[in-house]
Each structure stands twice: as C-alpha cells, then as structure tokens.
Structure 1
Amino acid sequence: MDTKEAAFLRQFIGKEVQGSPSPFLNWLRPVLLKVEEGSLAFQYTVRAEMTNPFGTLHGGITAAIIDDAIGATLIAYGGPDFHVTINLVVDYFAAAREGDVVIAETQVIKKGSQIVNAQSELWNEARTKLLAKGYTNLIKTKTR
C-alpha cells in the first residue's frame, strides 16, 4: 500500500501517534506497530481515564479502540472517500487494568465498492489472552 495516508501512518511505527486528524485517536495515544494493506496494529496503555469504577478498561473505550483502529485501517487506503461505521458488534472476553498494555489488530474482511466488512481483535501485550473482538460494516461517504 503506497498512499500518502499510509506513509503518514508508517512514520509512527514504534512511536506514539501524534498529529492525527482524529482528535480521538490522539487522545487514545496509541503506538503504531504495523501498517499493511487491510491491516493495522496499535498498542495502547490503559490509563485511569479509560477505566470503569471496577478499575478495568471501560467497555465503551474497548469498543471505541476497535472502531477507531478499523477506521485508521480504511484511511490508510487513501482516496477521496471516507467510510463511516453503520454497525459494530463487540464480544468481551477478558479485562485489562490501568497500566496494562493492550494490542488492537485489524483486518479488512471484504472491501466492496460501497460497504466494507472488517474486524479487530484486542489482546493483552503478550498476545496470550483475547480481551475482545469486534465486527463492523462501514459505508463509503463523500464527507472527507
């Protein structure tokens, strides 16, 4: 994949992403691990403001990480179109706590002319425990 968007992302491999057009992505403060066609991997450190009253990663933040990582995957394709989520289903399997490092890895399953189907898995840092898995469909718009 050789787009200016993918090149922008690649400069952050091994570093915290900064200066993204997505304020939410900047707030999440991920470290980019890989950029490939149809797949990205980000690493996140769970901060206090990302947790629920039980001290674990909030389910809404988990869903947002999944959604945002998939969105970045589609942006890496480049082009004038933008894709917006039309549904998102998240299965939660295990918890992460403040200070834990989690890895989100995305995969585009099918990229059609209008609809994209994708998924993201959220793992613990050692990739021995699947924390959550999300599935989504996104539709192409001209709002970019």
Structure 2
Amino acid sequence: MTEPDKSVMDKAVTRLEYMQALIGKSMQESFSPVGRWLNGKLLDIQEGSMQVEYVVREDMCNPMRVLHGGIAATILDDIVGTMVFALGRDFAYTSVNLNCDFLNAAKTGEIVTANASVIRAGKNIIHVEGVITNANGLIIAKCSSNLIQTSLKISF
C-alpha cells in the first residue's frame, strides 16, 4: 500500500474523511492495491455509499475488446469492500460471496460508473449491492455481496 497523502491525513481523522478528501481524484491513493490498478476516479463516498468512474482499458478486456466479466466482478468487489472499509469499523471485513450478473458489454475506451451501497449493516455481516452502468445508464453488471467481520483489527 502506498503511504496516505500526509496533507490529507493532517486534516482527516477517519477513513471516511480521508476518502472524502480524495473525491475528484484518481484512486491512486486507495487503500486497495487492486483499486490502484483499476485506477478509477472517486466521484463520491458517504457512509454506506460510494461512486467511482472507470475508463475501460484494453488490459481490462476480453478478446472481444469488451470489459472482461472477471474485471467487472473485481470492480464491484473492490468498490463494495472499500466502501465497507470506509465505515471505520474496528475489525476488517472480507467477502463471503459475490453474486454477479453481467447484463451488457462495455467497450474499450468507454467510461463506466460503479455505485455501491450498504443494504444492511449488522454487527458481523454487512450486506451490500453494487452496479456498473455506462454513460447512458445501461447496466453493465450488478452484484450483491455479504462481507463478514474478521479477527483482524484495523489501525488507522
């Protein structure tokens, strides 16, 4: 993980506030290494919701030059996980399942937006949903997932 931007950290006291200070910027300061590789642009993050914009790159595509289903699932898993991380809970959460539906194609060069939201946040399990849409609002992929609390204590 790259070191968090110290100028942002001086002003931020929670993980959510740290992430909110990055709105409008690339995800190169993400806590997630895969999030840094996906390199989306953070559009918004609130308690229980997150929105990130991505450009579909060639290295994200299958041989048909459309967004690979595994990468769409990775985008969804990363955004819901980062959103849950930003909730600021004391312990880390990890995905128990990720149920994805792939509904339409996104071509190389296309801009897509991923949205995540918490549906139910229990003490040990958090149920989330995510959706990737194109510029016209067409659903590319969507998911539901359950994340479970681990024994890994998070320090920030």
Both proteins in one fold, TM over 0.5: yes
TM-score, structure 2 normalization: 0.87
Pick closer, same or farther for the CA change 1:25–1:118 going to 2, 3 Å. same
Alignment match, 2:34: 24
Among candidates 16, 21, 31, match of residue 11 of structure 1: 21
- Which range moves more in the overlay, 3-12 or 27-36? 3-12
Match in the other structure for 1:120: 130
Q: Secondary structure at the match of 1:44?
A: strand
Check the 8 A contact 2:32/2:82 in 1, yes or no. Answer: no
Partner residue of 2:150?
A: 141
CA contact (8 A) 2:67 2:106 kept: yes
Unaligned runs of 5+ in 1: none
The equivalent of 1:39 in structure 2 is 49
Taking the aligned partners of 2:34 and 2:16, their CA distance within structure 1 comes to 19
Aligned-partner SS, 1:105: strand
Which runs of at least 4 in structure 1 moved beyond 2 Å after TM superposition? none
Asked whether the 8 Å contact 2:20–2:46 carries over to 1, the reply is no
CA shift for structure 1 position 138: 0.7
Q: What do the CA deviations read for 1:17-46 (whole angstroms, capped 9, x no partner)?
A: 223231101000010111111000000011
Relative to structure 1, is the Cα distance of residues 131 and 124 closer, same or farther in structure 2, using a 3 angstrom cutoff?
A: same
Deviation string, structure 1 residues 40-78 (Cα, Å, up to 9, x no partner):
000001111000001000000000100000001101111
TM-score between both structures, scaled by the size of structure 1: 0.94
Letter in 2 for 1:11: A
Matched AA of 1:56: V
1:49 counterpart = 2:59: yes
C-alpha RMSD of the superposition:
1.3
Larger radius of gyration between Structure 1 and Structure 2: 2
Unpaired runs of at least 5, structure 2? 1-11
